[in-house]
Amino acid sequence: ILNVEQSPQSLHVQEGDSTNFTCSFPSSNFYALHWYRWETAKSPEALFVMTLNGDEKKKGRISATLNTKEGYSYLYIKGSQPEDSATYLCASNPSSGGSNYKLTFGKGTLLTVNP
């Protein structure tokens, strides 16, 4: 994997459903993996930053896991609500050569939760 890739590109679920998205990133030169939530006309909101293999983070109904050896992270939303509708972005920091000051973003997963 050379770039950060997210799947699916978009997702429609019903209120109350649980859902998950995938982020794949380069596993070499890894420093950190970030998840953001981005609602239309607002600024991206940081959800999680993870650095260690096996990391799991939780914030309310949203949680994330990290596998740095194989280069993937999952974001889970339990009991989706209409207010969870947003684009979910993941981004990685590489660890070397000054490039660690930049984030490489995936194209995002657009989640729509229908009432």
Partner 1 sequence: KAGVTQTPRYLIKTRGQQVTLSCSPISGHRSVSWYQQTPGQGLQFLFEYFSETQRNKGNFPGRFSGRQFSNSRSEMNVSTLELGDSALYLCASSLQGLGGYTFGSGTRLTVV
- List the alpha helices (DSSP H) in 1-115: none
- Choose which of 19, 24, 73, 93 interacts with partner 1 (CB under 8 A): 93
**C-alpha span between 52 and 31 (Å, rounded):** 9
Q: Does 99 bind partner 1 (CB under 8 A)?
A: yes
Query: Taking contact as CB under 8 A, which single stretch among the options 17-25, 60-68, 73-81, 106-114 is the one that binds partner 1?
Result: 106-114
36, 62, 60, 91: CA torsion to nearest 10: -20
Residues that bind partner 1 (CB under 8 A): 4, 31-32, 34, 36, 41-46, 49, 89, 91, 93, 98-108
